[in-house]
Amino acid sequence: MIAPLAYAIGGLVLLLVAAEVMIRGAVGGSRILKISPHVIGLTVIAFGTSAPELFVSLKAAMHGHDGIAIGNVVGSNIANILLMIGTVGVIYPFACGDPALRRDGLVLLGSTIVFVILCHTGVIQLWHGVIMLSVLIGYLAYCYISDRRNCANDDSIHAKEVDEFDNLPDSLLKAAIYTIIGLVGVAFGARLLVDGAVDVARLLGVSETVIGITMVALGTSMPELATTVVAAVRRHNDVALGNIIGSNIFNTLGILGVVSIVTPLDIPQEIMQSDIWVMLGVTVVFVAAALGLKTLGRPLAVLFFAGYALFTIGQFTDLTALFTG
């Protein structure tokens, strides 16, 4: 048991460190090339913080572990909402009301509903992936045009995300080295994590889906959590909230889009029974709160955190039996 767990944890640590190196290299190189901060936030940072989920789901799917691939995305989306708001929001409540957040929140809700519909087909296929990626590209293009029209180039939520990164490489050569080393590290870390997770699931006697939706998903969500915490500490609440929404949109449309183009994804029955409905439910509540409230305060944060704790416990135990004795 110790060896597979160490394998998985080692892969996760390598994955997270490599992702951070890759993001800093890519952001640093983009700034040296004088690419718009808004474009960097929309593309480079969005891809970088979701790179662990992408590489893990891709590696898992290519080796026939669809439970981990799908569970990773579903679990990450649930963790991004319940755990991030539940932890960060207790200390720094999230301010709502930015028009861009309202727009992105509705896109998140729409993409989640589309994902639920596709799951009911039983298999997410190549043409599904093409559609999802096309929608993602269209959304990014619309965000770029809309934000450039409505605010200064360095004043949009996506542009502000660049300010959360400091100590960036100061030359193109260093930036390229950072990026390449980071990409290699992410790919190798994903392999270690998936292999270790499969062995842990086998030894614990639980399904790969359960491990994917809990341990793997929680681990791969760490870059988003770190970025959200930094933004919240700096009182950049719009950036923190936008990071959560953007990450979930990229997970649903980008990661599943890419993976399903490479190989079809069979939807595990476990996820169809409850997990996908939990994801849809928390997304609806989150978007409704973000659109209807001025602030996501501490009471809601505590409720979200408790919800994530119950969800995680429920993956390994029968909650009905737990509460009825």
- Alpha-carbon gap, residue 241 to 218, rounded angstroms: 18
**Is 292 a domain residue?**
yes
**Is 118 a domain residue?**
yes
Q: Please, how many CA atoms are within 13 Å of residue 13, restricted to the half-sphere of its CB? A: 6
**Is 300 a domain residue?**
yes
Helix (H) or strand (E) holding 20: helix 2-32
**Is 320 a domain residue?**
no
**Is 117 a domain residue?**
yes
- Alpha-carbon gap, residue 325 to 319, rounded angstroms: 10
- Predicted confidence at residue 74, as pLDDT, reads 95
- Which residue in this structure is represented by tokens 């080295």? 177
**Is 260 a domain residue?**
yes
CATH of the domain at 9: 1.20.1420.30
What is the token pair recorded at 77? 């989306």
The total number of structural domains in the chain stands at 1
**Is 322 a domain residue?**
no
User: Residue 49 to residues 21, 24, 228, 269: CA-CA distances in angstroms?
Assistant: 11, 11, 11, 29
Expressed as residue numbers, the domain containing 75 is 2-315
- Alpha-carbon gap, residue 33 to 84, rounded angstroms: 33
- Predicted confidence at residue 147, as pLDDT, reads 66
- Which residue in this structure is represented by tokens 């990071």? 243
User: What is the pLDDT tens value at each position of the chain, 325 positions in all?
Assistant: 677 778 788 888 887 788 778 878 887 887 787 776 656 666 676 777 778 888 889 989 999 999 999 999 999 999 999 988 888 888 777 777 667 778 888 999 999 999 999 999 999 999 999 999 999 999 888 877 776 676 555 555 555 566 666 678 888 888 889 888 888 888 888 888 888 888 888 788 888 888 889 888 888 887 777 777 777 776 666 677 777 888 899 999 999 999 999 999 999 998 998 899 999 999 999 999 888 877 788 888 899 999 999 999 888 876 444 445 5
**Is 184 a domain residue?**
yes
- Among 242, 252, 287, smallest CA distance to 131 is for 252
- Among 231, 207, 243, smallest CA distance to 81 is for 243
Within the chain, strands assigned E span 94-95, 123-124, 265-266, 295-296
User: Residue 204 to residues 180, 200, 207, 219: CA-CA distances in angstroms?
Assistant: 36, 6, 9, 18
Task: Measure the CA angle with vertex 246, ends 224 and 43; round to 5°.
Answer: 90
The number of beta carbons lying within 10 Å of the beta carbon of residue 151 is 15
- Predicted confidence at residue 150, as pLDDT, reads 66
